[in-house]
Structure 1
């Protein structure tokens, strides 16, 4: 693909999905060997909302020795057991709130400037309004914690095919939550995580999403559709999308959050010249 538009952006690599063939603590070094200097992570400790100091220190050491900055981190998301976040789930209230300062401290220690809070699935027997009220309370706490370390709070829409019980399955729904959090905190640091793969899988007009919500976008993530593999394996026109993001004034980074089509992460970056992989 033509990388003219890509050259205007900075890229990060999501180490929860890329280099997944390696143990977690080996992934920062593998990313560095591939030319990347910044990475993102889903919550890396499974269902442990307060990992041990040894676990935290080991992760910090792995990033430090690799010379890779952690650019973004999820709060407790429980993805390892099929959940899609814990923010709106009543039974997870205490675990999420205990996780907030832990995640914020870890993020701050590794230079992260973005924290992502996945909303959580709808729960049978619980009124949606009750879940939404809890989510707002929790997101206010998360936004305040993010603000305390100079970071933004990200709210993400997922796709309904893969996450049928997740309520934020459109850009408009995610941005509505962003606006409510900002109104409640007055901080203005809640932003839309514009994941182009999820939005494309939902059938959204990506150009219209970029143009409409450019002022709310705090981060962009990509994977091709269909397949959730690297750019060039599906139908999305990334050259056009990168150009549209630039034209709309987006100056943030773009996170690579795809599964390598061959199963070998190091072989999936051919579309992005090595000189463009280091964060700028």
Structure 2
């Protein structure tokens, strides 16, 4: 289980519920998803259909995002969104339920954009409490919460590993919750001009998850200029023992041809 296929960005030519089986047919035993529903609390039938699609495909769901709002509209999470605290809290229960049914252990909580007129400190204070609540909830099923620096949105405040690690440290020190971990997406870090090799050297053993795409373009490995194979090797040598999330936009019909090259 070296790779896990992010079925929210790969295999998008297929209906969502057909993607786990397509990943299995392509030779992969693990998948991950962004939040696969339009609402924070979907109907039970929707949840059952998703769970059944993963189980019927015979793949492991290694990762799942918390509800992040209207992603196509530019939202990037509810963790720091003042006024949507109850919505995030309700979503935690659904996420944990899915994780328990599917044996999922990693849950990505997108931080959220800065809100016009809102005090950034108040947003960060709320984020610490929300991340702690999520951490306590997923700990009951042996899980971790992932916190991710993201590129492409000026209003998203976590752009470097240090940005995310500072919040993670606050959650630990202020709330006593230590299962919030860095999601090291090498594409996002590189595009945001972080020193990826230095991040790996300093924190690889602490990574909660790694995701990859090449840059420029966010295509599959080999379509850009990033030394992804080197970074993966460095992370493994530094103590990272998890799977590698494939979170790229395929540039050809066979999304996985590069793995056979």
Could you say whether these structures have the same fold, taking a TM-score greater than 0.5 normalized by the shorter chain as the test?
yes
Find the counterpart in structure 2 of residue 116 from structure 1.
108
Secondary structure of 1:64's counterpart equals: helix
In structure 2, stretches of 5+ residues that fail to align are none
Find the counterpart in structure 2 of residue 261 from structure 1.
251
Shift of 1:271: 2.2
TM-score (structure 2 length as normaliser)? 0.96
Equivalent position to 2:61, from 58, 70, 77:
70
Equivalent position to 1:128, from 120, 141, 147:
120
Secondary structure of 2:83's counterpart equals: helix
Shift of 1:107: 1.6
Find the counterpart in structure 2 of residue 59 from structure 1.
50
Answer 1 or 2: higher relative contact order, Cα 8 Å, separation at least 6: 1
Aligned-residue CA RMSD in angstroms? 1.3
Find the counterpart in structure 2 of residue 16 from structure 1.
8
Find the counterpart in structure 1 of residue 88 from structure 2.
96
Confirm whether residue 272 of structure 1 aligns to residue 259 of structure 2. Answer: yes
Secondary structure of 2:116's counterpart equals: coil
Contact 1:114–1:153 (CA<8 Å) still a contact in 2?
A: yes
Shift of 1:250: 0.8
Secondary structure of 1:271's counterpart equals: helix
Find the counterpart in structure 2 of residue 49 from structure 1.
40
Alignment of 1:1-280 (within 5 A): 10-46=2-38, 48-78=39-69, 79-159=71-151, 162-262=152-252, 264=253, 267-273=254-260
Secondary structure of 1:122's counterpart equals: coil
In structure 1, stretches of 5+ residues that fail to align are 1-8, 275-280
Listed one character per residue, the Cα deviations across residues 61-93 of structure 1 (whole Å, up to 9, x for unaligned) are: 111111011111111112243200011011221
Shift of 1:158: 0.5
TM-score (structure 1 length as normaliser)? 0.90
Secondary structure of 1:91's counterpart equals: coil
Q: Size of the alignment, in residue pairs?
A: 260
